[in-house]
Structure 1
Amino acid sequence: MAHTAMSGSGTTAGDDPLQTAVWRLRSRGCWSDAAALLASGGDDPAPALQRAALLIERCLYTEQGWAEAEDALRVAEALAHDDGERGAAACERGYLAYASTLLGVRDRADEARAALGRAAALIGPTAPGRPLLDFRRGLLAQNLADSPQAARAAYRRAHEGATAQEDRLLMSFTWRHLAGLALRDGELAEARHGFAESLRLREELGYLVGTAPALAALAEAEPEPEAARLREEARRLFRLLGGVPTWLAGQLAAQPAA
């Protein structure tokens, strides 16, 4: 099962100290603290949407905080006033519904599909938010519709868009999910390359909370003893972050320790 948490660009906005602080907290799994920095945005839709995205991402990593994320998303939806903002809010709505379905909280698959479809009608093919939307549509195709071919096409579109926009965090996700499909098809060299690129990008960005999953994913494509070394490093980071992401526990427990 492919779990992800991906909302926003993963990069700081120039030298904006607020965005730098938000990223540093987010990258260490402190989503509530990061969201609190954005709580005084007033009627500005941008911080409201970013705050909702952070709290939705927390749901994916901790399987907690669903009501708070829902409340924040409703605020963002109410403040959206043009197609771009409404499309971005719909993209987050679809992601929250997807997360709820994937993690077995409540089946909201129909809501996820409808919301991402609405987002696709509002976010143009060349708009900045399109690669993220394509990626999330790939997640639905892979994990809710069991359609790896459709997922691969969506991930490739997302990867091309993320590369063009130099969105390295999104690229780390597209590399990882394309590699996962390659591994499923027995393409070990392709899988190893994609997983390694994903890990490299996350380490360069300092995306600590996403590094353990990247290490565990690469271990799936590496021979022993390298696989055992990668899993042990993933376990170390997992413990350091207090057992986050929660869904990684089963994967690490199922593999032998180094």
Structure 2
Amino acid sequence: MAETAMSRSVRLDPVGGEPSPAFGGGAPSERLGMASPVDRAVWRLRSRGCWEDAAALLDPYAETETAACLRRAALLVERCMFTSEGFAAAEAALRAAEALAQDDEERGAAACERGQLAYTATVLGVRDRSDEARAALGRAAALLPPDARGRAMLDYRRGLLAEHLSDTPQSALAAYRRAHAAATALEDDLLCSFTWRHLAGLALRDGEVAEARHGFSESLRLREELGYLVGMAPALTALADVEPEPEAARLRAEARRFYRLLDGVPVWLADQLTEDQLTAD
């Protein structure tokens, strides 16, 4: 859920454009069938911003298993948004997943990741791939069955496009609400943290500060509970923007600590956490 240095027309800040969680994967849990040692290891690395290492754990499975290949591609796509690097590796992983996909649901999942990669390249100012992003997510919508788990992620990402590439906040709001309802039903807490954040961003855009504060607080709470360290600085910064002092200063100081801990990731927070701020505490 998050906005600049990267794009003239899209801000990467509390109000939008933040990276979305990788397709098909929140934190490992019994209820989501992600309780294997490999799943847990992938999550630990991913949550700390070690996407390449997490993807490498899936290499032995990704050659023949479509689900693993898709997860590997999704991790590398996510890395692009957080770091603005690794686009070639993500493209290669995505092509492998597309080649391995056997049915409409798998093809739809791959198309959803391609849409996210194209969106990322566009909002980070790497290259304008907005038409590709729209086409890929449209293809995903046509391929994914109505009851597919991936529909929640698809709705969320279509909300991103509506808000940040088409500047149609009402369409974005409808998409985020669908995604939030589906993520809640699926008990996908990571995706819920993103939908809460973007719903809060739209509320703030409309001047609904109390509603925005609630949404940003819920997003932060879920990330704390999940141990999603790489998403903490954006969540803290967003909440700080709607809190009075001195609480706002405390939240920003904590955001700076996470930012330093993760070696300047996410890169799009650099304009908010300036060098002066980084050396202030």
Asked if these proteins are the same fold (TM beyond 0.5), I'd say: yes
Superposition pairs of residues 238-253 of structure 1, within 5 angstroms: 238-253=259-274
1:181 to 196, 199, 202: 202
Tell whether 2:26 aligns with 1:10.
yes
Q: Which residue of 1 aligns with 2:164?
A: 143
Contact 1:3–1:60 at 8 Å: present in 2 too? no
SS at 1:146 equivalent: coil
Query: How far does the alpha carbon of each residue in 1:30-62 deviate from its partner, in whole angstroms, 9 at most, with x for none?
Result: 000000001112221111100000000000000
Q: CA deviation at 1:177?
A: 0.3
The residue type paired with residue 7 of structure 1 is A
Q: Which residue of 2 aligns with 1:128?
A: 149
Tell whether 2:53 aligns with 1:33.
yes
Superposition pairs of residues 151-190 of structure 1, within 5 angstroms: 151-190=172-211
Between the aligned partners of 2:34 and 2:274, the Cα distance in structure 1 is: 40
Between the aligned partners of 1:39 and 1:144, the Cα distance in structure 2 is: 34
Between the aligned partners of 1:125 and 1:162, the Cα distance in structure 2 is: 14
Which stretch of structure 1 is more off in the superposition, 245-254 or 108-117? 245-254
Q: Give ranges in structure 2 of 5+ residues lacking alignment.
A: 1-10
Q: CA deviation at 1:233?
A: 0.4
Q: Which residue of 1 aligns with 2:245?
A: 224
- Overall identity of the aligned pairs, in %: 69
Q: Which residue of 2 aligns with 1:204?
A: 225
Q: Give ranges in structure 1 of 5+ residues lacking alignment.
A: none
The residue type paired with residue 86 of structure 1 is R
Contact 1:142–1:148 at 8 Å: present in 2 too? yes
Between the aligned partners of 1:142 and 1:117, the Cα distance in structure 2 is: 16
1:100 to 102, 121, 127: 121
SS at 2:73 equivalent: helix
The residue type paired with residue 3 of structure 1 is G
RMSD: 1.3
Q: CA deviation at 1:224?
A: 1.1
Between the aligned partners of 1:31 and 1:204, the Cα distance in structure 2 is: 20
Tell whether 2:77 aligns with 1:56.
yes
Q: CA deviation at 1:255?
A: 9.4
Contact 1:90–1:118 at 8 Å: present in 2 too? yes
Q: TM-score, normalised by structure 1?
A: 0.97
Q: CA deviation at 1:251?
A: 1.6
Contact 1:169–1:205 at 8 Å: present in 2 too? yes
2:40 to 20, 28, 48: 20
Which structure has the higher relative contact order (CA within 8 Å, separation 6+)? 2
Between the aligned partners of 2:73 and 2:231, the Cα distance in structure 1 is: 19
The residue type paired with residue 56 of structure 2 is A
**Structure 1's 3 and 21: CA in aligned 2 closer, same or farther, altered over 3 A?**
same
Q: CA deviation at 1:254?
A: 9.3
Q: TM-score, normalised by structure 2?
A: 0.89
Q: CA deviation at 1:28?
A: 0.3
Between the aligned partners of 1:93 and 1:145, the Cα distance in structure 2 is: 18
- Count of aligned pairs between the two proteins: 258
